[in-house]
Chain A
Amino acid sequence: QGQLVESGGGVVQPGRSLRLSCAASAFSFSSYVMHWVRQAPGKGLEWVAVIWYDGSNEYYADSVKGRFSISRDNSKNTLYLEMNSLRAEDTAVYYCARALWSGHRNGMDVWGQGTSVTVSS
């Protein structure tokens, strides 16, 4: 079925950077479109970014465009989210998720447990 494990979260000051990682196992990572989704404390789900299976294409939510960058290393079965110029409103639990049947329009059928990012001085 597949497993995803996020890491890299923590407390960071406004304006600083952080890189999240998502390690994939038990499925053919290089064949799947992957997403990042976040959830601020007490709030709903917010899609952040998507990357094609081969890294050839990527899209971002307007709220993070120009500040966040999604990437992947298929040789390491790992997805990344580079977050720059962090703001208080980026405080959230960040999830990586696999796209069902590797279609970016499809649902997300495998999710990680999430990693918490807190932006505070």
Chain B
Amino acid sequence: QFVLTQPPSASGTPGQRATISCSGSSSNTGSNDVNWYQQFPGTAPKLLIHSNNRRPSGVPDRFSGSKSGTSASLAISGLQSEDEADYYCAAWDDSLNGYVFGTGTKVTVL
């Protein structure tokens, strides 16, 4: 069950900035921190952004997150070919008493 909505795709040329939106509701993104994951085909997801805008150690500062109300966004500045991957937002949902993922966005570097 996907309760967080993301665009199916995003793209840009090398060096450009790409942004991915994540829309939820008051029970999830509106009241809990948003996290972002990066996943390459055939591999496990990797935590990219946690607590709305914090980068785990080792994540380039080209990746940034923000949240306002029930919406969040992930920005990738200075796009690189190695950024081609699937990206998922996620948050805890207080109504479902469960963790919910977004529908996922495939980023393509043209």
Contacts and interface: CB of A to CB of B under 8 A. Distances in A.
A100 B36 CA distance: 13
Nearest to A114: B44
A45 B2 CA distance: 9
Contacts of B50: 100, 106-107, 109
B56 interface: yes
B63 interface: no
Contacts, number: 71
B2 A44 contact: yes
Interface in B30-58: 32-33, 35, 37, 39, 44-47, 49-51, 56
B53 to A, nearest CB: 12
B103 interface: yes
Nearest to A108: B47
Interface residues on A, range: 20 to 34
Contact of B44 (A46, A62, A107, A112): A112
Contact of B46 (A105, A111, A112, A114): A111
A57 B56 CA distance: 27
B98 A44 contact: no
Contact of B1 (A62, A108, A109): A62
Interface of B: 1-2, 32-33, 35, 37, 39, 44-47, 49-51, 56, 86, 88, 90-92, 96-104
13 contacts: A44-B103, A45-B104, A46-B101, A47-B98, A59-B97, A61-B1, A106-B35, A106-B50, A106-B51, A107-B35, A107-B49, A108-B35, A108-B47
Given A45-B101, A106-B33, A112-B44, 14 more contacts: A35-B99, A44-B86, A44-B88, A45-B37, A45-B45, A45-B90, A47-B101, A60-B98, A62-B1, A95-B44, A95-B45, A100-B47, A107-B37, A108-B35
Interface of A: 35, 37, 44-47, 50, 59-63, 95, 100, 104-109, 111-114
